[in-house]
Structure 1
Amino acid sequence: MLGMLFNERECKELHYMLRKELDEMLSDLQDERLDGEIKRAVTRRYKVIFKMYARMASPQELSRYVINERSYR
């Protein structure tokens, strides 16, 4: 377990970066040109980023990024 201290501006920037990364991965998961192995790798990464985002986002913000993993296989 690592701990980090962020000031308010850094926290907002991290929040923004995580949101943008989740948006990008959602876009990748919807791309029908990608094969199953790539989608599984993106899904694994998505889970990690989602957990990081969940630590700072409100439940309302977080609900936007909840995915049904089976629909992206």
Structure 2
Amino acid sequence: MSKPTSKDPLHGITLETLLTQLVEQYGWEELAHHINIKCFSSDPSIASSLKFLRKTAWARQKVEALYLQSHRPMTDV
């Protein structure tokens, strides 16, 4: 019997990894432009952003959606 695989595209990716990759890709300024939350635009840091995102479901969902959009596998090519 094989182990069932998760259909969740974020399975195994921590919020910290996801956020770090977005910051590397976009930078804080552009990230704040995509997702208008204060922790990205006012003295941003990974630690303060993680603290906010872990407590704020709507903001975390926006970050996850941006990550999925920008890291979508190129399977349609």
Same fold (TM over 0.5): no
TM-score interval for Structure 1 and Structure 2 normalised by the shorter chain: under 0.3
What TM-score results when the alignment is normalised by the length of structure 1?
0.27
Name which structure has the greater RCO, CA cutoff 8 Å, separation 6+: 1
What TM-score results when the alignment is normalised by the length of structure 2?
0.26
Q: Higher helix proportion, which one? A: 1
